Amino acid sequence: MTQAVQDKIVEIIAEQAVLDPSEVSVDMTIEELGLDSLGLVEAVFAIEENFEINVPFNANDPAASEFDITSVKSMIDAVNDLIKAQNG
């Protein structure tokens, strides 16, 4: 399950960053990925659609959102927590 979640998130982020999933490692930051604000919002949308969760994310101040977007890993952890909390 967790590996599947990780793979899917990497795939979503890679698509937005116009990279091959093999080029995305879990310790990469948003800056290293070159994701712009629209790309980030679209990635959050794709994550919500794929995992049927609501992601607490405000584009006005992403850093202040509960959803930690520092790195690929922080997003994977956050998504796992949200799946547990929202889908039981």
Partner 1 sequence: MKRVVITGQGTINALGHDVASTIAAMAAGKCAIDNMEFPNVDRLSIQIGGQVKGFEPKDHFERQQLGLYDRFTQFAVIAAREAITQSGLVFDGELSQMSGVVLGTAGGGLQTQDENYRTVYEDGKNRVHPFVVPRLMNNAAVSHVSMANNLKGPSFTVSTACASSNHAMGQAFNLVRSGVAPVMVTGGSESMLCFGGIKAWEGLRVMSADGCRPFCATRNGMVQGEGGAIFVFEEYEHARARGAEILAEVSGFAMSSDAGDIVMPSVGGARRAIAQALSDAKLNPEDVGYVNAHGTATAANDKTETAAIKDVFGDHASDLMVSSTKSMHGHLIGGTGAVEMLACIAALKDGMIAPTVGFQQADPDCDLDVVPNVARDKKIGAAISNAFAFGGLNAVIALRSV
Residue ranges in contact with partner 1 by CB under 8 A: 18, 38, 41-42, 44-45, 48-49
Measured CA to CA, the distance from residue 30 to residue 51 in angstroms comes to: 21
Q: How far is CA 44 from the centre of its chain?
A: 6
CB of 10 to partner 1, least distance (A): 18
Distance from the Cα of residue 57 to its chain's centroid: 11
Please, what is the minimum distance in Å from the beta carbon of residue 22 to partner 1? 19
Q: At what angle do helices 2-16 and 37-51 cross, to 10 degrees?
A: 150
Q: Is the Cα dihedral 60, 73, 39, 8 positive or negative?
A: negative
Q: Which is nearer to partner 1, 48 or 81 (CB)?
A: 48
Nearer to partner 1, 43 or 78 (CB): 43
CB of 45 to partner 1, least distance (A): 5
CB nearer to partner 1: pick between 6 and 57: 57
